[in-house]
């Protein structure tokens, strides 16, 4: 009886392990790989389990690749679409800021908003890329006209004369205000009710303003 119980226990354990390994992709069904070796456990398994084990799979010979990306963007899911930077198909929207110091700005957006620095730029003119929640930010130093924009000069803004800004919509503006302020964000005012929402503005290291707003009466779509 003890031997039978032990065999049954071993059988169930092996079947459980096999099911788990197949689920996580360590083994796959026979015939789908290139390795022909199979694993037999006769003498320990009941017939049904023996059939399952001998039919299962070949161990994968490919190395298991890590899904962690140290310097790549995380896909952002919106509805039924997935967006990433750089895009594999279609297009992805990012916002560009002209800054005085690339590293300072990248580190600021990383610290305050928990952004992910995907690239730090270089001396040849490449910008830094930062992923912030469902959007991407490019920061680079200014400069004169280039062949692809021959009449345009890029420069940091006049802090008191802004013609565009980032708008961040939040679910709890008071919580965001307190958190981001504790991380070094400079708010122009505290959150103020206005036009069906509560909002306030942050200044980044180059003087750009960032609106933070929580809708109260406004609806979208």
Q: Where are the domains of the chain?
A: 2-59, 71-156, 159-221
CATH fold of 71-156: 3.30.720
Rounded to whole angstroms, how far apart are CA atoms 28 and 43?
Answer: 24
pLDDT tens, residue by residue, 35-67: 333 333 333 334 444 444 444 433 333 333 333
Q: How confident is the model at residue 22 (pLDDT cuts 50, 70, 90)?
A: low
Residue 170 pLDDT grade (very low, low, confident, very high; cuts 50, 70, 90)? very high
pLDDT of residue 122: 84
- pLDDT tens-digit map of 61-107: 333 333 334 456 778 876 768 888 889 989 999 999 999 999 999 99
Nearest to 206 by CA among 141, 120, 113: 141
φ, ψ of residue 82 in degrees (nearest 5): -120, 130
Residue percentage of the chain with pLDDT more than 90: 54
Contact 126, 82 (CB under 8 A): no
Please count the other Cβ atoms lying within 10 Å of the Cβ belonging to residue 98. Answer: 19
Q: What share of the chain is helix, strand, coil (3-state, %, to 5)?
A: 25, 30, 45
**Right CATH number for 159-221 from 3.10.180.10, 3.40.50.1820, 2.60.120.10, 2.30.110.10?**
3.10.180.10
């Amino acid at each position: 009886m003890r031997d039978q119980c032990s065999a049954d226990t071993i059988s169930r354990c092996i079947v459980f392990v096999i099911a788990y390994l197949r689920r996580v992709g360590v083994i796959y069904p026979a015939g789908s790989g290139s390795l022909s070796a199979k694993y037999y456990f006769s003498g320990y398994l009941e017939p049904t389990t023996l059939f399952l084990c001998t039919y299962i799979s070949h161990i994968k010979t490919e190395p298991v690749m890590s899904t962690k990306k140290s310097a790549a963007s995380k896909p952002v899911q919106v509805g039924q679409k997935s967006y990433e930077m750089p895009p594999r198909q279609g297009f992805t929207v990012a916002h560009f800021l002209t800054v005085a110091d690339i590293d300072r700005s990248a580190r600021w957006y990383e610290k305050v908003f928990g952004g992910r620095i995907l690239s730090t730029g270089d001396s040849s003119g490449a910008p830094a890329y930062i992923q912030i929640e469902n959007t991407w930010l490019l920061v680079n130093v200014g400069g004169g006209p280039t062949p692809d924009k021959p009449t345009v000069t890029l420069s940091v803004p006049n802090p008191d004369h802004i013609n565009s800004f980032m708008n961040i919509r939040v679910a709890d503006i008071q919580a965001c205000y307190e958190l981001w302020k504790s991380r070094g964000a400079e708010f122009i005012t505290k959150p103020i009710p206005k036009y069906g929402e509560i909002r306030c503005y942050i200044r980044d290291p180059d003087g750009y303003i960032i609106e933070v707003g929580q809708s109260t009466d406004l609806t979208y779509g």
